[in-house]
Amino acid sequence: EKQLLIFNYDLKLILHNKEASRSTMLCDTFADKFGRAGLFDCLAEIGYGAGKILENLSILIKDSSIILNGYDISPHVIEIASRIKSDRIKFLLCDLTEKEPADYDILLVINVIEHIPDYLTFLERCRSKAKYEIFHIPLDVSALSVLLNRIVPKRYEISHLHYFTYEYTITVLKDTVMK
C-alpha cells in the first residue's frame, strides 16, 4: 500500500540559496534525499518543460547507470529540451499516462497538475507508472490571494487552469494516486 509523504521543500530551499533557480534547488534537495543514496535506478518526469530538472539531476547524481527519461506532449517543449546535451537523459514526445504500466522507480510530476484540464484522470493514470510518485503542486489559493483577487490574473499570466489549497491537494492525491 502506498503512503503519502509530504515534503515542503520551498522554505528550506529559499533559505538554502536565494540565488539558485527553483529547479536547481529542487534537484539539490532531491539528490540529497534519494539520488546520492542510490535509492533508485530509473526515473521519469512528466511535463519536463525546458528539461532543467532532469539536467540538474544528471549532474548531481554521479551514477551514470541511472536512467532519466522525460515525457511531454508538446513538440515545442521537446525542441527546447533537446538543446541539453546529455547521454543520460532521453526526452520523449508522448503521454506516459496513456502507455501500458511503466516500470520506473520514481515518477516526478513537477508543476504540471495545475495545467491539465482533467487532472483527476491524469493523477489516476500516474498510479501504474512507478513505485513512487513525487508531485509538486503549487498552492495558489490563500485568504490573501482571494481577498486581493490574485487568482484570476494568474490564469492568464501562468496558464494555471486549476488552483489548490493544501487540504484540497492532499484529498485529491488520496482519492486518485493513493487509491
The mean per-residue pLDDT over the stretch 49-62 comes to 87
The mean per-residue pLDDT over the stretch 35-64 comes to 84
- Sign for the CA dihedral angle at 103, 108, 113, 116 comes to negative
The mean per-residue pLDDT over the stretch 65-73 comes to 93
Q: What angle in degrees, to the nearest 10, is found between the helix axes of 52-60 and 22-30?
A: 40
Burial class (CB in 10 A: 0-12, 13-18, 19+), 58: buried
pLDDT band at 15 (very low <50, low <70, confident <90, very high): very low
| Percentage of the residues of the chain whose pLDDT score is greater than 70 | 78
The mean per-residue pLDDT over the stretch 38-55 comes to 89
